[in-house]
Structure 1
């Protein structure tokens, strides 16, 4: 086994102190530097359990079930475990899932035992998790295949061996998540199968499962709505089944296969992926898959902290979207019917698109280009099934979460980079145009449900006025400036399909961001239907979900027109004025005004907020002025101060890989400001060398004279030629070659 990382949870004067992380010194294996506990503290909302790259199963301990910090089911400061469930979200601001929970126990007669544990007994590595349940005197180990979770329980008391299957367990029940129905059948003394239905962030979520036990159960006790019930088949909302096993010195093994369709699908998944009982072999297979996945980008640096941050970020960038399709090709579509996937197609879920279009999806176009193309096609397929492109699809549900229609960004970028050569571009254009155009019947059909927000009334106002009036609806500025960018993406998709007329219509709509710019204040600002500015106005004011800005304020929303940087700079009065405005952003006080200010505004440098996605491109905007050195200065601050190798080491919600993907790209020295435009702009690398695998071989990045002191870039050389501007193309990267940074201590 790879060396253990131990975590010491110190409780002193009731204050949480960060732990020490030990790492194999001078290791060359990226696997050794992945720390799944990073992001499990503060509000990173990651989980430490076992999963595979983009796997259906995320088998992890549930320590936290109430409130914001229960979004992933785990928080590092907790000392109790409710059990081990098989589905989790990584880094979201809303929770769901937590399906099919198991808890091994001794020494308890409680209907619902709860375990205690010490942090020193926890171990987490890619594909493997281990913990000792102190009061229950059981050591639990977890690993997984893509669709099957594998448990090993070692009981110290070999004559008191029990497992609780808790089918009433869910995450965030205080936020409206609830169990709707459970149907479970005890097939025989070693097999249980069933279907669990819940309602929460996903309005209609179904997971089917099959549980195989390595030993026959000695006794079953089943409780339906807390009343003991006899039989072998049960229906109810809250079902708990206690399995008791005969005395045995050997560890007890449990396999749980999931299906998005039915019990038969779960059984097929089990037989295809994990027919045997070799736990050590399963760990090895899972960890070898992670070793291979982590080879997409390899780095060289003497800074152990950078290595840990980098490879953990790369790991976090491969946890979602999830595979949502059985081995026989069946999956549940957005129309809630069962589909048979055509050859070469895989259905996925958990696309946090408003977050991930910015860095996560661009990263995947580099390290997993085929996967990026598959995901873009999967989004279009969701349109075919459901009628609109999704914003945040979860378990075959439209959630309507966040701003605009960001799927168009992922689609436009995939087309610009040639990743979907066989795409039906007429279907793609239809999906993009329909989703960007007011559909009143959609709103009526889904009234009162989350899906209604996939077609928010902001789109209606955009078409009526050309802008979204702030006295008619909240988040007007955020929707307005982002829809302008998405309309540019729609135009690019239409252009690729050969429809020049539609492309030109949407290129015009892409200029709508200009409506919100107030020259008297220098900010994007709420505008009323009569054309007057909304008052009062303070650029530092935030009111979560009730102001003109989503999860932010005017400072954090006034610099978003990535598709038209020349036009944006012109609004500000030219390059010098734009630079001065950026200076104000980064150097003004970090005071956030408003009693109900958004908790997502974290990681502040002035009013730049790295803890939330709208700010993620802003440091690079100096590259469009004559002060690129300021880009390098602020990136250095962000990379070294906002990413730390500790549980609280992510400065905001991880958001399904976005925060981590940002680090991966920026650590090797570049970023894509405008997905859909396949151009990268130069930053400040914190690695000495990086090798990026590309179809032609490798793209080598070297930072000469790199150090914490030498944070500025003197010149950049691409394949022997000095760059005149801080930009290069995706095509340059994909052809392979060498990008050289020459670093200096002086700007």
Structure 2
């Protein structure tokens, strides 16, 4: 299924070299091409972008192809329409792609908005150079483009053919979802402006992005365009543009969501061009290239103000050459990637692993300026505490399952800032969001996932935020109607009936929403317990067991339940009715904190193992069959349920099947939307042979490591060492394990292992050991 095309490796492929320069294994093309079928949840591609970015960076300077894909770049298209400054990696819907720059060889006889096809350029992947923090391509129009970034700025180096007119377009109104308004101003050697865009997944959300671009030479000539008019010599233009894709077809409510109270969600991917003519504004400038064919530019970005963009540029990118910025970006990536060092495995497996780790650390993003100023969810300017940063671009419904835990493990300071940011937004806006873009609510997807993210990060060591304040805001949102944005649609049902009934106002997927709320309540209980609030712990731990209210003994499934307490029988577990991006067969397993309770309700280990065997007949079946859908989030934890059912060898088997079959080193190496790093984080954990199963807790449920040696060096000083001699693609079965030198048959690790570090020594085999971990005393804890 997977292509093996990838960034060429340098000659030395030894494990030692991989440790010294982990960035060399990253292939940013992974995820830019469909790796699985389109099941109507945003397409079968990872929807990643290949451009330049630093970890958690505000600026993502990356090419945008003419063919639509939510990450901005579709691998099979050979046409680039621009290089925009903002992107999301892996979403099921489009947003951003703000302020595209595009080098043009020649003049500008027609308005780019009215004649966009004239100003695109074809290219070949053979002429691309990609690595963490750097993107380069020689376009077929003859211009060479090189991009790199800092946290708040970008550096561009454009080289034009000798003797040709060297032109640069700045399409200020070029955001993929259109701009309500935009402004561009040209100076002697600067271009600045702003754009107002938004509409993520059809939501009413808006943001304003400001930019300041400083060039290394004065312009030879200038001009602007508005709609169909080109005006040479004019230095300012104002005006917006429509969306570059068909918003009605792609980003309006899904058919299911529209039928279930109009909650927004992803749409099927469609191969649509984004170069239709229409209104728009921007600037064009030319350069005298007799003395030098190369033009350098530094661009500052801000979601606060134009002055903030200029100040960010001064703070981070003044007096630095392009090569210095690129080297610093790569060094920052090596620092981050080298928190996990691996030995063993093939080149393809190392590439897949380190690219997954790379994708896991792209988001959430800093939205505060270098001076700490940011625009809050109340529309006002705030200042982050000294030395801290404000974060957004939070795909809550996705990343609570394993990515937030990975960030807590590897980047506890950033995780603390992320948790504090989320609590700040809840305080400013009056409620917690589900899926935030920049400084506002979108409400995309369902549930109440931010509570889980904050509790996860706290459990994994992110303690530098006010957890008591966050808990207070969580309790408010989980028990009271919220002002403005409705945090928990169906809350009255949930608190009165113990579940959300079909038809509850504003609810997408009543049964799925019930299970999401129970996981959020469990996470609240765990945070409360950690900070000594026993009463809140007990209240929410009890509410977390509301999943039992959906269990129908006559069918053996968790089912939607009517307001009168009845179930609809007979029940079709392959139906997606009252579920979200999945079906009843898939959601039945979504009780990640009480696996043993779920197994008991289903009739015990033997029955559950048989059901799981059937469920994993297919690994990525989509939403309409009663099998696993591991290209999407709701079933990501299910391979680890065998550990709870006394058959860890089957967890080891299914996890390795998924690692081998659904991920790979080429452009099609992710079999579903990466959703800002969630699928990638699942791969990272699973390739290490462990998974953070339980919301708000730090126990790790075990599979088996893919690599012979894995060393995790946490910034907080702890070290985790995993030794697995002979580990390989088809050597996945555990026959022995030592934890800190002592023999263990438990298929899980306690929270203390994460908090203090330790050593795992595996004995692996290519044949199953059905006895290891099968004793009831060895199953992971349930709550």
Is residue 284 from structure 1 mapped to residue 312 from structure 2 by the alignment? no
Q: Distance in 1 between matches of 2:766 and 2:524?
A: 43
Aligned to 1:11: none
Matched, 1:207 2:209: yes
Contact 1:438 1:463 in 2 (8 A): no
- Which residue number in structure 1 is paired with residue 224 of structure 2? 222
Counterpart Cα distance in 2 of 1:123 and 1:460: 55
Alignment of 1:520-669 (within 5 A): 520-534=554-568, 537-542=571-576, 547-587=577-617, 607-669=627-689
Q: 1:234 aligns with which of 212, 232, 237?
A: 237
Q: Is the 8 A contact 1:362 1:675 kept in 2?
A: no
Q: Which residue of structure 2 lines up, in the alignment, with residue 476 of structure 1?
A: 510
CA contact (8 A) 2:61 2:83 kept: yes
The Cα offsets for residues 502-554 of structure 1, whole Å up to 9 and x where unpaired, read as 33222221111111112222211111112222356321233xxxx21100111
| Matching residue within 698, 705, 709 for 1:689 | 709
Judge conservation of contact 2:446–2:508 (CA < 8 Å) in 1: no
Q: Cα gap change, 1:697/1:672 in structure 2, threshold over 3 Å: closer, same or farther?
A: closer
CA distance in 2, matches of 1:285, 1:718: 38
Equivalent pair of 1:208/1:262 in contact (CA under 8 Å): yes
Find the residue that maps to 2:394 and give its secondary structure. Answer: coil
The answer to whether the 8 A contact 1:699-1:734 is kept is: no
Where does residue 499 of structure 2 map in the other structure? 467
1:131 corresponds in structure 2 to: 137
Q: Is the 8 A contact 2:339 2:713 kept in 1?
A: yes
1:76 matched to 2:81? no
Query: Secondary structure of 2:567's match?
Result: coil
Relative to structure 1, is the Cα distance of residues 621 and 429 closer, same or farther in structure 2, using a 3 angstrom cutoff?
Answer: same
Q: Residue 27 of structure 2 corresponds to which residue in structure 1? A: 35
Residue 489 of structure 2 corresponds to 457
Number of the residue aligned with 1:45: 47
Contact 1:65–1:170 (8 Å) recurs in 2: no
SS at match of 1:73: coil
Determine which of 435, 449, 472 is the counterpart of 2:477. Answer: 435
Are residues 302 and 489 of structure 1, via their aligned partners in 2, closer, same or farther at CA, if it must alter by over 3 Å? closer
- Structure 2 CA distance for aligned equivalents of residues 23 and 507 of structure 1: 50
Can you list the C-alpha shifts for 1:323-359, whole angstroms capped at 9, x where unaligned? 1111111111111111122223310111111111111
Point out the more displaced range, 626-635 or 458-467: 458-467
CA displacement, residues 246-272 of structure 1 (integer Å, 9 cap, x when unaligned): 233330112211011111111111111
Determine which of 412, 418, 426 is the counterpart of 2:455. 412
Partner residue in 2 for 1:9: none
CA distance in 1, matches of 2:66, 2:520: 37
Indicate conservation of the 8 Å contact 1:432/1:493, yes or no: no
- TM-score normalized with structure 1 length: 0.90
For the 8 Å contact 1:540–1:591, the answer to whether it is kept is: no
* 1:638 shift after superposition: 0.7
The 5-angstrom pairing of residues 488-503 of structure 1 reads 488-503=522-537
Classify the secondary structure of the residue corresponding to 2:454: helix
Structure 2 stretches lacking a partner, 5+ long: 35-44, 113-118, 241-279, 769-783
- The Cα offsets for residues 442-475 of structure 1, whole Å up to 9 and x where unpaired, read as 3xx4xxxxxx4x5242223212321111244540
2-structure distance, mates of 1:142, 1:691: 32
In 2, distance between residues paired with 1:519 and 1:500?
Answer: 33
Q: 1:588 to 1:51 in 2, by over 3 A?
A: closer
Q: 1:359 to 1:142 in 2, by over 3 A?
A: same
1:56 to 50, 55, 58: 58
Q: Which moved more, 1:327-336 or 1:220-229?
A: 220-229
User: 2:737 aligned with 1:716, yes or no?
Assistant: yes
Report deviation, 1:655.
0.9
Note the C-alpha offset of 1:491: 2.1
Matches of 1:160 and 1:260 in 2, distance apart?
34
Q: Aligned-pair distance for 1:125?
A: 0.6
Answer yes or no: is 1:243 the counterpart of 2:285.
yes
Higher relative contact order (CA 8 A, sep 6+): 2
- Does structure 2 conserve the Cα–Cα contact (< 8 Å) formed by 1:106 and 1:162? yes
CA distance in 1, matches of 2:378, 2:66: 32
Q: Which runs of 5+ in 1 are unaligned?
A: 1-14, 172-176, 446-451
**Counterparts of 1:379 and 1:178, CA distance in 2:** 27
1:162 corresponds in structure 2 to 167
* Contact 1:491/1:506, CA 8 A, preserved across alignment: yes
Is 2:313 aligned against 1:293?
no
Instruction: Note the alpha carbon deviations across 1:346-404, whole angstroms, 9 max, x for none.
Output: 10111111111111111112211222222111111111211112211111011111221
Distance 2:725 2:619 in 1: 35
What's the C-alpha RMSD, in Å, of the aligned pairs?
A: 2.1
Distance 2:336 2:465 in 1: 26
Equivalents in 2 of 1:704, 1:211: separation in Å? 53
Moved more, 112-121 or 242-251: 242-251
Question: Which residue number in structure 2 is paired with residue 102 of structure 1?
Answer: 101
* Conserved 8 A contact 1:696-1:734: no
CA drift of 1:589 comes to 9.9
1:478–1:495: structure 2 CA closer, same or farther, 3 Å change rule? same
CA deviations over 1:647-679 (Å, ceiling 9, x no partner): 001010011111111111111111111131221
**Distance (whole Å) between structure 2 residues aligned to residue 550 and residue 428 of structure 1:** 27
In structure 2, the CA distance between the partners of 1:708 and 1:49, relative to structure 1 (3 Å rule), is: closer
**Aligned partners of 1:46 and 1:90 also within 8 Å:** yes
1:6 aligned partner:
none
TM-score (norm 2): 0.86
Q: CA deviation at 1:591?
A: 6.3
Distance (whole Å) between structure 2 residues aligned to residue 612 and residue 580 of structure 1: 23
3-state DSSP of counterpart to 1:185: strand
The question of whether the paired residues in 2 share the 8 Å contact of 1:55 and 1:322 is answered with yes
